[in-house]
Structure 1
């Protein structure tokens, strides 16, 4: 068994216009000062030049060296926003246009081609950085039809997943060529949002070895899905881990769907670590049990607490939950060694 690496922090939610939150170096100093050991870096030009990283080993070495001087590593690169744009239902075109580079906005076909190329570049950049995992979203073509009313036309979901797989298979092949796994964050709003949908996709990409999971229990709490049993079922495919808390407290007026309310008023809300309902003791135990080899990365999203307070509390919270795995069985002190003759005698097979 391996000890989980961490604590790490996903920088996307902390980006800002003022120091130290407006540069990678400033965020790195801030995160290191809070006790973080790793950074999950979004492919956002304000922090990281993805095109340059895919083209220049020197640029990647400089980034790694700068972070190493601060006692930090890169956990993964993230293309959540670009991955979202690999597959966009037209109903969401105006909302998602802001995720794309200005020159492709208003042109869905050009936007998708740009997004595909961005996610492919992230595979090359990850290899240059010495990374073996990457974080992303799948995008969605079927999400507007998640609740079957009116009745979905026969084959609609199947056709949507066929198309999703057609778009992602060449991307996954690039990740295979670069020795990098994609961890899809299973997230409402994405076609891959639970175990069933992940299996539907996996089947259509031929059980591609690079199609994997970013495990985030908060999204399963809000779906009322058993997030511990999920690890038992899918642990071989879990390659990334967002440590994020949530709560679901349905009442007589609203439940899982939230009644179109703001986050602060919804029964299902993301919370800072320790303020929600997620049983992280059991999650970290299962991760250790199944020999999870990656990082435990804080993703802060909370409708109540200040982000800087959530970040400050997150590093010690994760550190306290990481299990330093044992190098031997607890009862090895009493072992009697291998003796086949004794085994035979104990089973009554020898006099």
Structure 2
């Protein structure tokens, strides 16, 4: 068993144009002041971290890490969710995902893919320079538009999709391997890795690459109506990152899992602040602890009702309340249990 680290917070949803959320110093001071011990850092905004510089400068990385440590914070992981998404984009999503790339790459899907892959490889190098051994990202998706088999999927389409996805990721995974860093894919709707079966398909397509691992977020499984507790039992050896995010699923006679194209507030499945949804976090933390998952408990705030400020404040106490300090003794040690030799053991058994 292993005690989960935390509390930590993913900065992505809190970054803003107004203080204190518009600078790294401001975000660190804010997070530390609330009682967080770690931060998960998005890497798309160069004002927070510049992967191009960091990949070639240990001094830059040392100063970056030193600044964060000065606020009594640790870096849990770097996040390349956006860059990872852009490693594999179906043409149906080209225009919408172009919002995330530099101006000169808009409308150029091949160049965008190459840029994303380069950013991912730099993230592996930078993670090592920062002393990190895990990394958070998305897989991207080539198959999501054909997720529901209508029209019927041509034979071999899914296998072809996962082979292409693996081919794009293998050079990246090898770079992470060279730097001793595990790639933790957030299992998430719209990604080709969105449940257990798809994780296994990707793992097999990469030749069971040892750097393929999981960022576990139970909220996404609530929306899929997938058993998020048994998921831990199936894949605990791959779970090396953890988002603490809640969700609820309340189907009606008018809408269910697919949501009816409604906005988040009016969907049957909605993300909520931790403790406000339906996730059994007591069991989640217990299972992760029992299986010895070496993870940070990182708050990812997404809620259609509660403000981010309140969610962040409540998140510290929520995570602290659920972290289990693993025992170093058995509860019945008080009853003794004298040392015995082989002869005495046989005598106890009457043999």
1:149-168 correspondence to structure 2 within 5 Å:
149-168=150-169
**How far, CA to CA, are the matches of 1:70 and 1:117 in structure 2?**
31
State the Cα distance separating 1:343 from its structure 2 match. 2.2
Query: What are the within-5 Å matches in structure 2 for residues 124-273 of structure 1?
Result: 124-273=125-274
Superposition map of 1:79-94 within 5 A? 79-94=80-95
Corresponding residue of 1:296: 297
1:341 maps to 2:343? yes
Give the drift of 1:213. Answer: 0.2
SS of 1:314's equivalent?
helix
Verify: 1:52 aligned to 2:43, yes or no.
no
Quote the offset at 1:339 in angstroms: 2.6
Are 1:77 and 2:75 an aligned pair? Answer: no
CA positional deviation for 1:338:
5.0
Distance 1:120 1:341 in 2: 61
Gaps of 5+ in 1: none
* Matches of 2:236 and 2:229, distance apart in 1: 10
Q: TM-score, normalised to structure 1's length? A: 0.98
Partners of 1:236 and 1:220 in 2: how far apart? 18
Computed over aligned residues only, the root mean square deviation of the Cα atoms, in angstroms, reads: 0.9
Q: Deviations over 1:263-303 (max 9, x none)?
A: 00001000011100000000000011011112000000001
CA distance, structure 1, for counterparts of residue 325 and residue 206 of structure 2? 36
For 1:276, the equivalent position in structure 2 comes to 277
Shift of 1:344: 2.3
- Taking a change above 3 Å as real, the CA distance of residues 276 and 340 of structure 1, as seen in their structure-2 partners, is same
Aligned residue for 2:8?
Answer: 8
Task: Note the alpha carbon deviations across 1:223-256, whole angstroms, 9 max, x for none.
Answer: 0000000001100000100000000010111011
Q: What secondary structure does 1:55 align onto?
A: coil
Q: What is the CA deviation profile of residues 12-41 of structure 1, one whole-angstrom value per residue up to 9, with x for unaligned ones?
A: 001100111011110000011111000000
Q: Distance in 2 between matches of 1:7 and 1:304?
A: 22
Aligned residues between the structures: 349
Q: Indicate the larger mover: 279-288 or 40-49.
A: 40-49
Partner residue of 1:319?
A: 320
Q: In 1, Cα distance between the equivalents of 2:32 and 2:168?
A: 38
CA distance in 2, matches of 1:154, 1:129: 45
Deviation per CA, 1:138-191: give whole Å up to 9, x if none.
000000000011111111111100100111111111111000001000000000
Quick one: distance in 2 between partners of 1:263 and 1:272? 14
Residues 1:106 and 2:101 aligned together: no
Comparing 273-282 and 50-59, the one that deviates more = 50-59
Secondary structure of residue in 2 paired with 1:218:
helix
Question: Quick one: distance in 2 between partners of 1:331 and 1:122?
Answer: 48
Q: 60-69 vs 284-293, which deviates more?
A: 60-69
